[in-house]
């Protein structure tokens, strides 16, 4: 029996046929069918312009960004088994990931993947701009992409706090200090003093935008919980939703670039 025979045998079993309802994608017809009958492959169209598979044209950065999002999701879920977002445990859990835990390298994968994702999403945007791919009919999808860029930065920013070391809290302190300068909504922001009722200030350090972000007047345990929930649940869900819209619109708008 040759390898090809074994392959044919497997493809003729009831199990295989129940999963893949067509022969191997060797001829043109089945290469089309394979794209239509698989939910993951169906993210793609059946055929694309030749420029769409030319790496020197696309740089592959959008695809890599999505791949890194998946890497972050998988490593992130696994890290959640090891990490408790409390003042008592957070730092020590990271410490044990570094020194004791068998798969502690997950943290490195997660952190470097996050840095890489920030770079690749910028490069993706750079390519889309320089090829004029935001022009009609893709104006809306460019906007979705900008929100995804913001979500990526927020995901990275919220994750930065979780190790609860000096690097983490001071980076978040520097970053979130900006919020108290929000016009009208921050207690050191221009115009906030104007928001008074009968001489009582509505916007103070216990009610302003920074307080909302941190859940307190400084970066503390409430902040850790808030950032943890944002990082692990809210922001990934929002990103996943918009990624779906983004991909769907790429297809509906006639591929990754070029006039219709």
Partner 1 sequence: MHDHYGLSGSLQTGIGLFYFLVMLMNVGFALYQWYDRKDQLQTIIWGAVSAIFGIHAVAYLLHFGWAIFPWLQHAIDYAMGPTTYFLLAVVGFTVLLYFRAFFTDPVVAWSILMITLWFSGLAMTNINFKDIITKPDNVPIVMLIFSVGFVTWLALRKAVINDERIAAGQPPVEKEMEEKVLVWPDLVYTELIAMIICTLILIVWAIVLKAPLEQPASSARIPNPSKAPWYFLGLQEMLVYYDPWMAGVVLPTLIIKGLMALPYIDFNQKGNGYYTFNERKFSVTTFLFGFLVLWCVLIVLGTFLRGPNWNFFGPFEPWDPHKNVPLNNVNLSDYFWLYLLGMSTEGHWFLRELPGLLFVFGYLFVLPPLLAKTIFRDFFIRMGFVRYMILITLIQFMACLPIKMVLRWSINLKYIVFIPEYFFNI
Site for partner 1 in 98-137 (CB under 8 A): 98, 105, 107-109, 111-113, 115-116, 118-119, 122-123, 126-127, 129-136
Task: Pick one of 168, 214, 232, 239: the residue that binds partner 1 (CB under 8 A).
Answer: 168
* Shortest distance, position 193 Cβ to partner 1, whole Å: 6
Q: Considering Cα of 243, then 244, then 247, then 250, what sign does the dihedral take? A: negative
| Environment class of 10 (CB within 10 Å of its CB; exposed 0-12, middle 13-18, buried 19+) | exposed
Q: Could you give phi then psi for residue 203, rounded to 5 degrees?
A: -105, 110
Closer Cβ to partner 1, 188 or 202, answer by number: 188
The answer to whether 45 contacts partner 1 (rule: CB under 8 A) is yes
Closer Cβ to partner 1, 7 or 190, answer by number: 190
Task: Tell me the number of residues near partner 1 by CB under 8 A.
Answer: 99
Could you give the string, one character per residue 218-247, with x where binding to partner 1 holds by CB under 8 A and - elsewhere? xx----------------------------
In this structure, what token pair is assigned to residue 175? 């970053």
* Shortest distance, position 233 Cβ to partner 1, whole Å: 21
N-to-C CA span, the chain: 50
Distance CA 237, CA 45 (A): 25
The answer to whether 175 contacts partner 1 (rule: CB under 8 A) is yes
Distance CA 94, CA 82 (A): 8
The answer to whether 248 contacts partner 1 (rule: CB under 8 A) is no
Identify the DSSP state of 88: T
């Amino acid at each position: 029996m040759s390898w090809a025979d074994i392959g044919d045998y497997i493809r003729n079993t009831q199990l295989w046929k129940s999963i893949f309802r067509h022969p191997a994608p060797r001829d043109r017809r089945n290469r089309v069918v394979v794209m239509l009958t698989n939910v993951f492959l169906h993210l793609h169209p059946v055929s694309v312009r030749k420029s769409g598979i030319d790496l020197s044209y696309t740089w592959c950065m959008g695809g890599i960004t999505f791949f890194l999002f998946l890497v972050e999701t998988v490593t992130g879920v696994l890290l959640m088994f090891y990490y408790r977002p409390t003042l008592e445990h957070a730092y020590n859990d990271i410490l044990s990931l570094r020194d004791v835990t068998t798969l502690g390298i997950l943290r490195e994968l997660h952190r470097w993947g996050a840095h890489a994702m920030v770079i690749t999403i910028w490069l993706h945007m750079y390519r889309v701009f320089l090829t004029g791919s935001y022009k009609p009919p893709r104006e809306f999808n460019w906007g979705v992409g900008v929100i995804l860029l913001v979500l990526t930065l927020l995901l990275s920013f919220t994750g930065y706090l979780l190790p609860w070391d000096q690097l983490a809290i001071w980076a978040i302190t520097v970053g979130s200090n900006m919020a108290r300068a929000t016009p009208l909504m921050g207690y050191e922001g221009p115009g906030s003093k104007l928001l008074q009722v009968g001489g009582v200030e509505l916007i103070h350090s216990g009610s302003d935008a920074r307080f909302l972000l941190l859940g307190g007047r400084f970066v503390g345990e409430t902040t850790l919980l808030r950032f943890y929930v944002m990082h692990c649940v809210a922001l990934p869900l929002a990103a996943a939703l918009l990624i779906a819209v983004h991909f769907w619109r790429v297809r509906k708008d006639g591929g990754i670039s070029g006039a219709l």
